[in-house]
Amino acid sequence: MKKLLILLIPVIFFPFLNSNQDQVYFGVSRYDLLINKNYTKEKIDNFFRENAYRGANWTRVYSYFYGPFDYGGSPFGGFPNTYVPWKVVSDAGNNRKIFDLTQFSSEYEERLKWFMDAAKYYEITVDLCIFDTVAFRFDNTWYYHPFNPNNNIQGFNGSYAGLPWNVDRRYFEIYIKWLAEKLKNYDNLIVELINEGYPDNTGNMDVYRSFLVWEYDLVRKEFPGKLIALSTEAPGLMHIYCDIFDAHFIWGRSALYRVEGGMTVLRYLEGIPRPKILSSDGDGDPTKIWEIITQNNQDEIFGLYQEAFSRRWGVDLTTLDQTKSYWVVDAGSEVYKSVFGVYPKNWHVKKTPLISPNFTDPKYNYISVDKLTAVGGQTLTFTINYKNTGAYATGVVIKGTLSPYFENVKPSSGGSISGNSIIWNIGDVDGGQGGSVSFTARVKVGTPIGTRIQNYAEIDCNETEPFQTNKITILIIF
Amino acid sequence: MRKGIFLLTLMVITFSNFSFSDNHLFSLKISGGMSRVYDGGDLKKWFNGEKAYFDWLGKQQNYSTKSNYPFKQDEPEGNFEVIFKPLNYLGVSVGLGYTRRIWSSSSEVYYNHGGNLGYDKIELSSKNELNVFPVTLSLIFSVPYKFLRANLFAGGGYYYANLKFNMESKYFWQNFPDRENYKHHYTSNLTTHSEGAGFHGGIGLEVKIISHLSFSIDAFFRNVKLGDIKGELKWNEILEWSGYKKENSGSEKNQTLWFGSFKVDGNQFERAIFSGEKPSLFENARPFNFNLNGTFIKAGIVLSF
């Protein structure tokens, strides 16, 4: 009875967190954004900046996942190119690694802090999922899992399939405490106990619940003053332990009107006395929400925002390609404005990128020509190479200079001649991406012998000052 | 030689019993001598323009140049004529001549890169060859006096000219960055043809040596303008540096020799170049014209029938 009373205290006294419009969360999430090494800092910086500019203030990520799980056509977390919190002791081959569950990766720590700092800079709250999903314990990903007793030097078996949960929780505890220590200074953090926290049909529900209560107590203790979210569809009774209720698998407006257990999901959620955020992952089919987004199904998305914001609930939609989900965030801001009378706080606030685009590496950004000595009348072929070694760049423009000794200039790759320049409007160039453009020009007949024609190019984008490439000299020898 | 000719003439004058009082209807005249072209029109302007340009270039920073563009005025010329004289003081002649003129030039351009890069060098040379075949028709007015006959010539001619422009450029830079011993060798050969009419006039003196043989000395002036120089350009190019060698060659028909001027840093230089089309770089570009205006002094023998 005493324990029940303690558990009810937060329910009775905890104020609704999103009681004003500033705390209505919405955003898009790429769940492996933190741990996938393919997401460079530049890409993450761009992800935050672009979505925040459109009004987003929320994102949800896993704290770890190491295994081959297909996620929209590529391995979740970029497996095996993944940041993992635990220190790797040895490599067991075939991408399987042996971890020390009491030691942590400095590489991961640096990544985690940078990620949180970046999110904070863009005023984005991070929903960090502490443990990965139960279901993964039953598939082939378990072979690689750090909690597989074969994969850690402690021999710790963290298999959810190997219930009961109360056998040994020490390495869970070490991890939660380590995270809490590293993240204690971030106020833009919400933590989830576990992804999609239900025990499936093979588990012991009572024992599982006891595990969640244990974890809830520990997380509340280790993250004082922080919000705790429990992302779960079932068991519904767990909402009494959480500060915000994250209703998962809400992939569109129609998902709110599904009938579950004799009542609609919407009515079910309305009955939960917690601030809520509706999140999507396709209801078991990860492509479901993605199809809605890529097919531009505005009825589902606008309707979802309307239903959520009119109740002061948040919305978090998953994304596989943020450039294709920009309209979703834009739609959210418009509905937000229609409901609250103002746009979200981040909306159209332009922030300087944390990591700027970079076209200044001469190894990748240079001009070359097929001949360095030429005869009047000969045609030269110039190639301008570019590569962005920084953050996502928008409005990239390449300008090639033209000597007055050139004629019959023919740009390739869509360039156009403007005065003494050739202009290529490249568009956006992601970090790590690049290409080349070229043009041919004929040296005017009669160009004086000994003339040294200098040529260079400029690479510009919206975020940086123009970069001038190397200068090449073509000597006229006849 | 001159002394010998003088003595021979003196002997002929002193001892000759032959006179031009007897007219011969036909004569053949073979003569040769030196012809002088005064300035050649665009030819000399071209050479002067090239020299002026390289002299200017040599004064620019890091550059030094050498250039030699001589314009040779005098070249030998031969002539064969058939003379028909229905009257002792009046006749006409049809002549066929040949003269070959060669103008060679060279220049060198050095560019000092400084430091370890040293300097690079362009060596240019050209050999321009002109072969002219004049076909002339002259009216001859003669004034005989004993064994001497003074002749006045006037007439016109048609001049067939073949021109060859052989040019070569050799470029070399020992310390070319990343391309050791960089060489670029380019040659071009333009073979052209031009023809045109001209007129001439002059005076001559004949001395009869024996009955059917006389010695002649003539001097005349001619005015011949040639232009519309068109032909085929053949070129060859070798680009070479350490571990790399590439050779290209080709030919381009319907090439025209153009003349015009270009500006560099406010300085204007005249130049001639080959191109299939009017060169856009040149100011006042026009087809190249040259002339053979000048004098022709020759000596020969005349066989009369």
- For residue B118, the model assigns a pLDDT of 86
pLDDT of residue A14: 38
Smallest CA–CA distance from B186 into chain A, residue = A478
Q: Which residue has the tokens 């996502």?
A: A392
Identify the top-confidence range among A53-67, A241-255, B208-222: A53-67
In angstroms, the separation between the Cα of residue B298 and the nearest Cα of chain A is 40
**How is chain A split into domains, by residue range?**
2-340, 366-476
Tell me which chain A residues have a C-beta less than 8 angstroms from the C-beta of B54. 450
Q: Which residue has the higher pLDDT, A369 or B243?
A: A369
The predicted structure's pLDDT at residue B242:
86
Which string of DSSP letters, residue by residue, matches A8-51? HHHHHHPPPTTSSGGG--EEEE-TTTTTBTTS-HHHHHHHHHHH
Instruction: Give me the numbers of helices (H) and strands (E) for chain A, helices first please.
Output: 9, 26
Question: What Cα–Cα distance (Å) separates residue A336 from each residue in A53, A72, A208, A314, B82?
Answer: 14, 29, 38, 10, 111
Q: Between the CA of residue A46 and those of A25, A33, A200, A355, A459, what are the distances in Å?
A: 20, 12, 37, 8, 20
Q: What is the DSSP string of B54-72?
A: HHHHTTSTTEEEEEE----
**CA distances (Å), origin B300, targets B29, B33, B161, B217:** 7, 9, 24, 7
Q: pLDDT at residue A164 above 90?
A: no
The backbone torsions φ and ψ at residue A15, rounded to the nearest 5 degrees and listed phi first, read -70, 155
- Quick check: helix, strand or coil at residue A332? helix
Note whether B37 and B294 are within 8 A (CB): yes
Q: Using CB atoms, which residue from A447, A452, A478 is nearest to B169? A: A478
Search chain A and give the residue with CA nearest B278: A445
Which residue from B65, B239, B262 is facing A446, i.e. has the nearest CB? B262
A419-to-A125, A399, A422, B233 alpha-carbon distances in Å? 49, 11, 8, 33
Q: Which residues of B touch A447 (CB under 8 A)?
A: 281
Asked if pLDDT for residue A214 goes beyond 70, the answer is yes
Interface of B with A (CB under 8 A): 53-54, 57, 63, 65, 109, 111, 120, 122, 124, 167, 169, 171, 179, 182, 184, 186, 188, 235, 237, 239, 258, 260, 262, 264, 269, 271, 273-275, 279-282
CATH of the domain at B218: 2.40.160.20
B161, two tokens: 């000219």
The nearest alpha carbon in chain B to A445 belongs to: B279
**pLDDT given at position A142:** 87
Say which residue the tokens 């598939």 belong to. A139
Q: What pLDDT, on a 0 to 100 scale, did the predictor assign at position A169?
A: 85
Q: What is the pLDDT of residues A267-316, one digit of tens each?
A: 888 888 888 899 887 544 556 677 777 777 888 899 999 999 999 999 99
pLDDT of residue A417: 93
What is the number of domains present in chain B? Answer: 1
Spell out which residues of chain B touch residue A407, defining contact as CB-CB under 8 Å.
280
Contact across the interface for B262 and A371, Cβ inside 8 Å: no
Asked if B122 lies within 8 A of A477 by C-beta distance, the reply is yes
Q: pLDDT tens digits for B35-75?
A: 999 888 898 899 999 999 999 999 999 999 999 988 888 99
Rounded to whole angstroms, the maximal C-alpha distance in chain A is 101
Chain A residues lying within 8 Å of B271, measured CB to CB: 446, 448
Residue type, A437: V
Classify burial at A151, counting beta carbons within 10 Å of its beta carbon; exposed 0-12, middle 13-18, buried 19 or more: buried
pLDDT-flagged residues of chain B (< 50): none
Considering only the beta carbons, identify the residue of A372, A407, A477 that sits closest to B186: A477
pLDDT score at B221: 96
Of the ranges A188-202, A209-223, B1-15, the best mean pLDDT one: A209-223
Question: Do B281 and A475 count as a contact with CB atoms less than 8 A apart?
Answer: no
Q: A477–B239: do the CB atoms touch at under 8 Å?
A: no
For residues B270 and B261, the answer to whether their CB atoms sit within 8 Å is yes
Count of alpha carbons within 13 Å of B282, Cβ hemisphere only? Answer: 23
- Do A65 and A32 touch, CB atoms closer than 8 A? yes
Task: Report CB contact under 8 Å: B273, A376.
Answer: yes
What pLDDT does A1 receive?
37
Helix (H, G, I), strand (E, B) or coil at B220: strand
Domain A366-476 in CATH 2.60.40.740? The answer is yes
Residues B43, B296: Cα–Cα separation, whole Å: 19
- 8 Å CB contact of A478 and B188: yes
Nearest-by-CA chain A residue for B122? A477
Selection from B224, B210, B26, B199 nearest residue B130 by Cα: B224
What's the CA gap between A197 and A61, in Å, rounded?
Answer: 15
At residue A126, the pLDDT reads 96
Residue of B166, B280, B284, B286 to mutate when probing chain A, most A C-beta within 10 A: B280
**Confidence band for A5, pLDDT divided at 50, 70 and 90:** very low
Instruction: State which CATH number among 3.20.20.70, 3.90.1140.10, 3.20.20.80, 3.40.50.1370 fits the domain covering A2-340.
Output: 3.20.20.80
- A294-306 as b/e, with b when 16 or more CB fall inside 10 Å? eeebeebbbbbbe
| H or E stretch at A107 | helix A106-121
Domain of residue B82 covers: 2-304
* A408 vs B contacts (CB less than 8 Å): none
